[in-house]
Amino acid sequence: MDLAHTPEEEEFRARLREWLGKALPSLPPKPSPDDWPARRTYDLGWQRMLHDAGYAGLHWPVDAGGRGATPTQHLIFLEETEKAGAPYVGANFVGLLHAGPTIAAEGTPAQRARWLPPVLRGEEVWCQGFSEPDAGSDLASLRTRATRDGDHYVVNGSKIWTSHAEVADWCELLVRTDPDAPRHRGITWLALPMDAPGITIRPLRTLAGSAEFAEVFLDDVRVPVTNRVGDENDGWRVTMVTLSFERGTAFVGEVVACRRVLGELARAARDNGRWDDPVLRRRLGGLNAEFRALWRLTQWNVSEAEASGTGVPGAGGSVFKLRYSHARQELYDAAADVLGPESLDLDRPWVLDRLSALSYTIAAGTSQIQRNIVAERILGLPKGR
């Protein structure tokens, strides 16, 4: 595979750099990390700027409202925006990276027309309603029930770790529509309006002190059948599409961020004398090789998805997600070594990131789940009983 950039791709990079140089100084001050309504406004404002400049939805197909850019152009966009210190997708990462691509791949023309443009224009926020208190890592054992009543589903149950639920307009919701079917076959994927009667949201505070997650309780919530993406009881297949995007491309920008942090760690180690430790130098060198390899794996995964004609990442996304989760934890453990006793100071750079990194081997499917996927779908090993 030739991974060299073409003249057209380098021209795209130059235009993007020029635009970022003009756009970023015009941004308002970034709000407090704990003020999610203000962060919603800030993040959606940035998304609108991207949309107006022609950089929104680069990785989305044209018929879904995207720009139809090549996978390489999308990766160049992620590289350059991270290097320039541009805002992350923030409050609307579910809409841009999970729900939006899923609807683009599985939704009807009417669903695409209704839900995708507002995401790209920075007008609506989505959250994810997959995990449940009693399901753990076994997502297929979810119990939230949806009963058909004419043109609506009546939903009862609860969800946990619902990202940005308190500021979301919509939720990608998994429900059980056939309790008698085998557990993977009785699930349906719904788009839930978060202002529907019967929804209660309780924010959850994380180890790092932030509250971007919430519990969501659903009591006789009515959802139109037209909000169903895919067929009834075919939600597990649709969910695999969502999780493919979540594991295969949603963390791509963070690899670039980790490479930037690694360079900052090396400079900090030189400044405070920790660079004299050969063990630390070898550790940082190994991480540099790790993140370079992850970036190449990302290039391969997105190219494979494009070549498949579906644009949906395959099982290779689980390889990426598995290794990236652990590499991120190793990076911030190395940061603690560089900081020494200051690694206990929550006001120091990288300390809160270290606490956040602990969740990465759980989020978007635990490492145990990813190992099962790699073993069964890539290596062809028999399923456990």
Q: Measure the CA angle with vertex 135, ends 358 and 96; round to 5°.
A: 60
246 is catalytic: yes
Out of 246, 330, 342, 376, the active site residue is 246
Partners of 223 in beta bridges:
153
DSSP H helices, 314-359, are 316-339, 351-357
Token duo for residue 237: 């297949």
Report the Cα–Cα distance between both ends of the chain, in Å, rounded.
39
Pairing of strands 152-159, 213-224: antiparallel
In this structure, are residues 237 and 186 in contact, taking their beta carbons and an 8 Å threshold?
Answer: no
Helix, strand, coil percentages in the chain from 3-state DSSP, rounded to 5: 55, 15, 30
Task: Count the Cβ atoms, other than its own, within 10 Å of residue 315.
Answer: 17
In this structure, are residues 20 and 86 in contact, taking their beta carbons and an 8 Å threshold?
Answer: yes
- Pick the closest to residue 66 from 74, 56, 76, 75 (CA basis): 56
In this structure, are residues 215 and 159 in contact, taking their beta carbons and an 8 Å threshold?
Answer: yes
Residues noted as catalytic: 246
